[in-house]
Amino acid sequence: MLLKFFRFAKGYVTFTASGKFPERFLNAAAVNKLNLWDAYPSKGKITATMAAADYKRARHIAQRAGLKLKITSKRGVPFFVKRHSSRLGLPIGALLGAVLLVVLSQFIWTVDITGAKTVSDNRIREALADNGVYPGAFKWTIDVLDSQRAVQMDIDELSWVSINNLGCKSTADVREKAKKSDEPKSQSPCNIKADCDGVITKIIAENGFSAVEEGSGVKQGDLLVSGVLPTGQDTIRFVRAEAEVYADVNSKFELKMPKEYDYYYVNENKTNRNKLNFLWLSIPASLNFTAYPQSVSSQNRVNLSVNGNALPLGITTQTSYELRNISVKENSEKAQQAFEKTLLLYEVFENPSASVKSREITLTEDETSFNFTCDYTLNRNIAQSVEFDVTEH
């Protein structure tokens, strides 16, 4: 196979030798060290093949032997170039295409990420790019082991990173750390104490001795359920008290709202700007230069692909949306409606397990703002576990 390639690169001709005793040409070629192949006789002729560079010398040898040579076919690169010499751009283009293909094959075209569940792909891509793995990176400058370690250190949620460069594609396979299981509950003895002031409404004691009754008032830090139990034999036993103690407690929420403020919103005006991406290059491909004083933008990148393989050529579209601002003046009625919505969020996220017994809203105002205060009565679990040393008893 390699021999055929070299013969084609140098060029070769197939010819016939005719005349009296054409076999004499074979002897003369051997004496003059001419390389022939695929020689065979046919009706007083001999057909053979030789390198194009040897044919001119072979003609002189044939003439001395009284024979006549005739070329039947020419093949190889020199003849191809000569036939297409009027189309010089064709061989030059083919050569440049081959060189371009070899050069581009030394770079990373695309980066794929697999195995990520909770960590976003964009975050992993940023970490990879910071450590040398990105579209347009020269493959032979990437230290895979160092990049793997660096990405794992940059993102605490990852327990394992594997980077594989195959062809012009780099694949980062990641594994996330397993969530830590809940720590086992301590078995040390403890009391249940109140975490705030309140009036007891309900006691559910699973373990321990109740030190208060329903309807009694308690202060923060008072003992609710004791972990010290008498045994009936003039001794005591220490246990870990477990209980839920519900009480009505007072709570206050305050909020200050300005009477006048600026509000920004996105209107219907937008501008699209395109960029042509080739490896690490980004070339503007839009003549739209509209700019807004205030704006927000988003980007969308699409790469060309062939047979499912992404190419290092794509288009990034950046869309800018105009922001408009208006001055809003609030009156007391609208301000109170907004405050009530804020209260709902406060109750859901700050006191999710408490039930609201009552709420009283108070409004005061000054020159620049409305001041709201909401006095709550909440019913919630005020039990707090407090461990103790048995030597204390």
Q: Does residue 214 fall inside a structural domain?
A: yes
CA distances from 37 to 21, 78, 131 (A): 19, 20, 58
Q: Among 292, 309, 328, where does a domain finish?
A: 328
The boundaries of the domain holding residue 159 are 110-176
Residue 213, pLDDT above cutoff 60: yes
Domain contains 181: no
* Cα–Cα dist 246/250, whole Å: 13
Q: What's the confidence (pLDDT) of residue 79?
A: 80
Which CATH number does the domain housing residue 21 bear? Answer: 3.30.70.260
Partners of 17 in the beta sheet?
A: 46, 69
List the CATH number of the domain containing 138. Answer: 3.10.20.310
Residue 92: pLDDT band (50, 70, 90) is confident
How far apart, in Å, are the Cα atoms of 79 and each of 60, 84, 92, 232, 340? 22, 9, 16, 116, 90
Q: Are 69 and 117 contained in the same domain?
A: no
pLDDT category of residue 40 using cuts at 50, 70 and 90? confident
Split at pLDDT 50, 70, 90, the class of 155 is: very high
Q: What percent of the chain is predicted at pLDDT more than 70?
A: 95
The percent of residues in the chain predicted with pLDDT above 90, rounded, is 33
Looking at the structure of the chain, the number of domains it has is 5
Return the structure tokens found at 189: 């003895």
Lowest pLDDT segment from 3-17, 73-87, 209-223: 73-87
Q: Is residue 142 part of a domain?
A: yes
Q: Torsion angle, CA of 55/60/66/68, rounded to 10 degrees?
A: 30
The region of weakest confidence among 91-95, 217-221, 296-300, 374-378 is 91-95
Q: Is the dihedral of CA 30, 35, 40, 44 positive or negative?
A: negative
∠ CA 188-193-195, nearest 5°, is 120
Residue 393 has pLDDT above 60, yes or no: no
- Arithmetic mean of pLDDT over the chain: 86
For the chain, the residue count is 393
Taking the mean position of all CA atoms in its chain, how far away is CA 25? 72
Domain for residue 137, yes or no?
yes
Is the domain of 362 the same as that of 352?
yes
Region 156-178: mean pLDDT is 90
Does any domain span residue 270? yes
Question: pTM score > 0.85 for this model?
Answer: no
Whether residue 357 lies inside any domain: the answer is yes
Closest CA to 25 of 73, 54, 59, 76: 59
For the stretch 257-305, pLDDT in tens is 999 988 888 888 899 999 988 877 788 888 777 888 889 888 888 877 7
pLDDT exceeds cutoff 90 at 179 = no
* pLDDT for the residue numbered 85: 67
- For residues 51 and 76, what is the distance between their CA atoms, to the nearest angstrom? 10
Other Cβ atoms closer than 10 A to 225: 25
Taking Cα atoms as reference points, which of 73, 75, 64 lies closest to residue 5? 75
CA 155 – CA 119 distance, rounded (Å):
9
What average pLDDT does range 340-354 have in this prediction? 90
Domain membership of residue 51 (yes or no) is: yes
Same domain, residue pair 281 and 308: yes
Angle of helix 24-31 versus helix 52-64 axis, rounded to 10: 120
Please report the sign of the dihedral spanned by the C-alpha atoms of residue 246, residue 247, residue 248, residue 251.
negative
pLDDT of 376 above 90:
yes
* Residues 269 and 292 sit within 8 Å (Cβ to Cβ): yes
Q: Do 276 and 311 have their domain in common?
A: yes
pLDDT at 308: 66
The pLDDT of residue 138 is above 80? yes
- Whether 162 has a pLDDT exceeding 90, the answer reads yes
Are 300 and 316 in contact, with CB atoms under 8 Å apart? yes
**Which amino acid is present at 52?**
A
Same domain, 37 and 68: yes
Q: Report yes or no on 140 lying in a domain.
A: yes
Average pLDDT over every residue of 71-90: 78
Do 154 and 203 belong together in one domain? no
